[in-house]
Structure 1
Amino acid sequence: MILFYDQSQFVSIDSSGLKVNYTGPNDYEAVVIRANNPIPSQCGLFYFEIEIINEGKNGIIGVGYCTKQNNISDFMPGRKYVEDEENKEIKSWGCAYHGDDGYFFCSGSGKSYGPTYTVGDTIGCYLNFRNDDKVIFYTKNGINLGIACYLPNNLDDLKNNLYPCIGLRSQDASVEANFGRKKFKYLTMTNDNIGKELWEVCWINSKTFDQYIDELKNKSNDTLALMSQGKAYLIIGKYEEAYAVFTRLLEIESENIIALKYRGEINYIMKRHEESISDLKTLLKIKPDDSWAKEAYKLVDGM
């Protein structure tokens, strides 16, 4: 079981182990709150979400992953990289997507990544250990923001030493984690619109994944197979392949709401904003009260 645990006198964690409050006396010191256990070594894919309950005084909150050696004070996750001088194999590695400026930081370097986030927003953090391109991406309120980084080459060093974490440098900030006890906002990580078979292939039996996708390729006119194949590509970050599959699905069913949703999301990820808006408008004509489509349209239109 993964829960957060208290590592600082300025952090309080409720009895569930999921809700964290930061009570630091100032806004120039940071604290990293790490999970009590690393990501299980058998996991090919891992995902969790953080709901922002209170952004605090300045909104400096980071969501990501860190190694056990990561300093729990002074630096936000992703802002510092440390190599043990005596043992070069022991490294402090971390990454985080920050709410105050939308930047993504990884072991000391930062880049513009996504929109800022604040009270009421839910930020998801996805990690893929499985396929050749081992990636991290984030979601905001159920919308995929695209790949933030590719994992470093020393993956074996990280695989049993990587923890979900949050960084706080904002007085009175409060967040709550979801490690799967309740439904995720990012529904791609659920089996709502794919069969149980694909779900188990993606999450449990990764050895059969490529074989399963190859079988689906032979069903180019089967809408359920196309939906499963497209979602599988999306889960592992193969966006162009997913785009082609959902386009084929829309050629068969021009108002397929799942295909419109995911193709609109992929277009946003690939920075094809006009095409994304077009798909989202079509989706909203079919489902005018769809909350995901409204949120996605607002996000893309703001670009």
Structure 2
Amino acid sequence: MTNTNTSSQTLGSRRITSVIAPTLPPTASESFERGTPSDIAGLPVRVKVSRNRSPDYLTEALELEQPSSASAVPGKRAPLFTTVQGSTFSDSSSSPESGVLTKRNGEKESSGPADEGHPQAAPKPLNLPTQWNQKDKNQTLDISTNGQRITYSGLGEEDKHAGAVRSNYCIPPQCGLFYYEVTIISKGRDGYIGIGFSTQSVQLNRLPGWEENSWGYHGDDGHSFCCSGTGRKYGPSYTTGDVIGCIVNFMSGTISFTKNGVWLGVAFKNAIESIKGDAGLFPSVGLRTPGEIVESNFGQSKFKFDIEHHYKEEKARIWSEINDMPLPTLSAPTDEQADASSDINQLILSYLIHHGYSETAATFQKDTASMRASPGTSVVPFDKEDIRKRQLIRDHIVEGDIDEAVMLLDEFYPTILAQNPHLAFQLKSQRFIELMRTVTTSSNAMDVDSPSAPAPSSAEDDMRSVVSYGQAMQGEFGAFENSLVQNALVETYSLLAYRHPSDSAVSYLLDPANRLLVADVVNRAILKSQNRPAVPAIENVYRQASAVAKELFDGGSGVAAFVKARECL
């Protein structure tokens, strides 16, 4: 029987077709007073879609880490201009089919892969089993409106009168380990109840475990059944009031059960590997005699069994196996093979130099000078003056003084902005935000009934200066038809639409943490201009580990749920 349950809905977002140049009409102050958008019509609206919530023990497992830059600020929404691809501003002669976009003047620009450090698109959410499927059940079973309670309504005279049901979604292997519980509300006449798992190809007129690709733990005799009608002694029988839990472990390929919060041990080894074909595994329950009623819990309420502790134990076991594995021996590099990545001390030193920790780098280099593997091991170039310049520029950006940072860039690296419109775009967008921050502060001061409050005309002049700067940005970057650039401009300009931007829907633009993202982009651009790595080697190692975990996750491997690169730090 085919599972006809539909997946969660998706929302299409409206595509912005033009960038609105900032203007300040005579009636704009009225819009500011109302606190509603005035001339920034057509902004994309972000709608939070409600999806089935994962149980607490799976929250961390399904939180996929992205191979993005360590400079990203976790848990915070970054402005769009901080994630615009550098290739967006690069001319290209490639064909439109290869992802090339066109400028308004007819020239072409690339929309290639994102620069280092920019986060990739979020993975598609996984659907977990949350209730029993009304359209994937035997006719002898009745399911409550909330999809949790099952009642047997058949004849119950022969084995062929049994009925089974599957959950609304199959279990994604990416969760690593999945658990659900079933409470026996009534054992009915005989208590012929089977609880377990099955694939969608299994018929629904038998108890779980009696068919191929089906596994079950039965209540009348406590036997476990694996893909056949012949069971073996496994655990105690269960009856009215008992709570039976089911665990499938995609890492070890095992299925086990619990009774009233007590783990009964592994019931089926290598169960996952024995599944015939590319089939998904569904929680499944079967009933056989009149009066049998059960109710499930897929994480909507607290489990009887401490699954979180069990999950942590399994995770610790896997990490122990990983840590016990012998590491390959690396031979000392020759002069020709010397590479900083062959020496962990050089990896750390290159990280410190990259991010401008000059004093720490100098101390670390001195302390580890006698610890090098061999005379042939390379040493990371150390130019304290270059570090000082990069750190000075970074400090000004982090403090919000974009003008001073740009002046220092022109002084120390005179060609970098002219050759890098992507860098100029990010700096000017951040400067627009800093100007708005100043105007917002002045506007708040005007609201205070004080003789020292600034005159309204001064605040209006400041606002017109901000608008004038935004129009200049529009003239410079509005020629790019790339939707990423246009959306970033619209988002940035939307600060003008609110009387109090710090309390508006785009208040995240004013978060000082965003300065760090811009500062890191500037630092990478300087290093690239010197033909030096834009990303330190140790960060590449972390990204590679994260990318491997992501590939495992996308491929449906349960390993990714237990092993995350960030836990090695």
Scaled by the length of structure 2, the TM-score of the pair is 0.31
Count, aligned residues: 191
The whole-number CA distance in structure 1 between the counterparts of 2:322 and 2:262 is 24
Cα pair distance change 1:120/1:213, threshold 3 Å: farther
The whole-number CA distance in structure 2 between the counterparts of 1:76 and 1:156 is 19
Deviation at 1:102, TM superposition (A): 0.6
Q: What is aligned with 2:169? A: 37
Q: Is residue 2:152 matched to residue 1:22?
A: yes
Q: What is aligned with 2:280? A: 161
The whole-number CA distance in structure 2 between the counterparts of 1:124 and 1:50 is 6
Q: Deviations over 1:101-130 (max 9, x none)?
A: 011001103101110000000000111011
Equivalent positions of 1:167-186 (< 5 A) are 167-186=286-305
Equivalent positions of 1:1-303 (< 5 A) are 1-6=129-134, 7-28=137-158, 29-73=161-205, 75-81=206-212, 93-108=213-228, 109-130=230-251, 133-150=252-269, 151=271, 153-154=273-274, 157=277, 160-187=279-306, 189-190=307-308, 198=312, 202=315, 209-210=318-319, 214=323
Equivalent residue of 1:32, what SS? strand
Contact 1:61 1:98 in 2 (8 A): yes
- Which is greater in Rg? 2
Deviation at 1:175, TM superposition (A): 0.3
Q: Deviations over 1:133-188 (max 9, x none)?
A: 42111100000111101115345846x5110000111212100001111111111x
Contact 2:187 2:291 in 1 (8 A): yes
Unaligned runs of 5+ in 1: 82-92, 216-235, 237-303
Contact 1:27 1:171 in 2 (8 A): no
Which piece of structure 1 moves more, 64-73 or 26-35? Answer: 26-35
The whole-number CA distance in structure 2 between the counterparts of 1:118 and 1:101 is 10
The whole-number CA distance in structure 2 between the counterparts of 1:113 and 1:143 is 14
The whole-number CA distance in structure 2 between the counterparts of 1:142 and 1:80 is 28
Deviation at 1:214, TM superposition (A): 4.1
Q: Deviations over 1:213-258 (max 9, x none)?
A: 849xxxxxxxxxxxxxxxxxxxx9xxxxxxxxxxxxxxxxxxxxxx
Cα pair distance change 1:8/1:155, threshold 3 Å: closer
Equivalent residue of 1:183, what SS? coil
Cα pair distance change 1:16/1:115, threshold 3 Å: same
Contact 2:222 2:235 in 1 (8 A): yes
Contact 1:2 1:37 in 2 (8 A): yes
Cα pair distance change 1:53/1:9, threshold 3 Å: same
Letter in 1 for 2:194: G
Which piece of structure 1 moves more, 178-187 or 19-28? Answer: 19-28
Which has the larger share of strand?
1
Identity among equivalent pairs (%): 37
Letter in 2 for 1:80: E
Deviation at 1:211, TM superposition (A): 6.3
The whole-number CA distance in structure 1 between the counterparts of 2:246 and 2:318 is 22
The whole-number CA distance in structure 2 between the counterparts of 1:39 and 1:152 is 12
Letter in 2 for 1:180: G
Cα pair distance change 1:140/1:11, threshold 3 Å: same
Report which structure shows greater RCO (CA 8 Å, sep ≥6). Answer: 2
Q: CA RMSD in A?
A: 2.8
Equivalent residue of 2:175, what SS? coil
Cα pair distance change 1:100/1:211, threshold 3 Å: closer
Deviation at 1:16, TM superposition (A): 1.3
Scaled by the length of structure 1, the TM-score of the pair is 0.57
Q: What is aligned with 2:125? A: none
Deviation at 1:48, TM superposition (A): 0.6
Letter in 2 for 1:101: D
Q: Deviations over 1:261-296 (max 9, x none)?
A: xxxxxxxxxxxxxxxxxxxxxxxxxxxxxxxxxxxx
The whole-number CA distance in structure 1 between the counterparts of 2:255 and 2:274 is 15
Deviation at 1:10, TM superposition (A): 2.2
The whole-number CA distance in structure 2 between the counterparts of 1:181 and 1:117 is 23
Which has the larger share of helix?
2
Deviation at 1:5, TM superposition (A): 1.9
The whole-number CA distance in structure 1 between the counterparts of 2:196 and 2:294 is 13
Cα pair distance change 1:16/1:152, threshold 3 Å: closer
The whole-number CA distance in structure 1 between the counterparts of 2:268 and 2:294 is 24
Equivalent residue of 2:203, what SS? coil
Deviation at 1:212, TM superposition (A): 9.4
Contact 1:24 1:172 in 2 (8 A): no
Letter in 1 for 2:133: Y
Deviation at 1:11, TM superposition (A): 1.5
Letter in 2 for 1:34: R
Equivalent residue of 1:42, what SS? helix
The whole-number CA distance in structure 2 between the counterparts of 1:80 and 1:125 is 18
Letter in 2 for 1:190: E
Contact 2:140 2:162 in 1 (8 A): no
